[in-house]
Structure 1
Amino acid sequence: MPHVVTGNCSDCRFTDCVLVCPVACFHGDDQRMYIDPIACVDCAACVPACPVHAISESGDLSQDEQMWIQVNADKSSSTPVIRSKQTPLTGAEARRAALGYGPS
């Protein structure tokens, strides 16, 4: 099952995940990242790389998080591939702290 980017990525857009992805399956817009479910090879290298714990295997999502599967599929087909680390959004560190994750 492919991995998906969940709501924790919203308003953060840390891109540490793209550095470890062997297949360039990450796409992004001006608010968050998405995983292309067709390109994802389920290596899980991105999971520990995300500083806000926003990436999960689709089979591990709670009922409330299931919608992220379709969001990732839809948005990854309409946003550009992100292949290099970019500057997080303004306020990303505050959001990370609010989510309960300290600096890495």
Structure 2
Amino acid sequence: MARIAADKIALVDQKGLAVARPEGATGEPPTPKGRKNASFPLSLDPEAWHSFMLETVGDTLRASIDGKPVAFLQSPGIAHPTKSKVEFGCMGKDGFFDDLKIWSAEPVK
């Protein structure tokens, strides 16, 4: 998952997070053993439109904004065989998405 704000982007390996978070817990859940999360600084104009791309290849997750790589995460849950979704969202008040495309591609050899 990628969480985007005007000043940062966070990449999260969500596999196993439901198990790590006890019922009734508040705030961010602890990262399960072996899983990693990472945050990277950004400087985005929140009033402008930006192109965003989130790529997963094996156990890696890479985010690009306006054609420039801005974040990278390697973590075992990203390549988990039962992983069935990719998510991204906006941290803060609101956000808008337009021209959303999702596809599966083979790596270039």
Report the TM-score when normalising by structure 2.
0.25
Q: Relative contact order (C-alpha < 8 Å, sep 6+): which is higher?
A: 1
| Rg (Cα) greater in structure | 2
Say which structure is richer in strand: 2
